[in-house]
Amino acid sequence: MSDEFIRVNDLAELHEEQPTYVAVGSFDGVHLGHQAVLKSMVAAAQKNGARTAVLTFFPHPRRVIQNLTDPYYIATLDDRVKWIAELGVNIVITQPFNGTVRNTRAADFVQQLRDHLNMRQLWGGN
């Protein structure tokens, strides 16, 4: 298992062969709840020989859906990526949130995660 860190700006750039555990979310400030989910995901992946990935959207989906112009994030994108990487995540995808992504069916989105990341587990919080 590689500890290499990768940051990409589009899921389509990836074609992972190794099984991957994936968390999807806005991660607007990488708060304690985010950290707990990501630490648990990293530990589970390491135990099972998998890599880890976080897919976060930029801009925030609410900015696009609600046509907001004010900044929406608690922290900058670079800070959020740095904090996620420091938790041991192997891959961060800063997926552009646009009309195409907005209109993607959930089943198709999950299939894209499987196709590009060899996703074995999908992690999230509430």
* Residue 125 pLDDT level (bands cut at 50, 70, 90): confident
Compute how many other C-beta atoms are within 10 angstroms of the C-beta atom of residue 32.
8
What distance in Å separates the CA atoms of residue 79 and residue 34, rounded to the nearest whole number?
14
Contact (CB, 8 A) for 111 and 105: no
Helix residue ranges, H only, 1-126: 32-47, 61-65, 77-86, 99-102, 106-117
Contact (CB, 8 A) for 23 and 109: no
Mean pLDDT (whole number) for 22-35: 90
Mean pLDDT (whole number) for 54-63: 80
Global pTM reads 0.89
Domains of the chain: which residue ranges? 6-123
CATH number for the domain formed by residue range(s) 6-123: 3.40.50.620
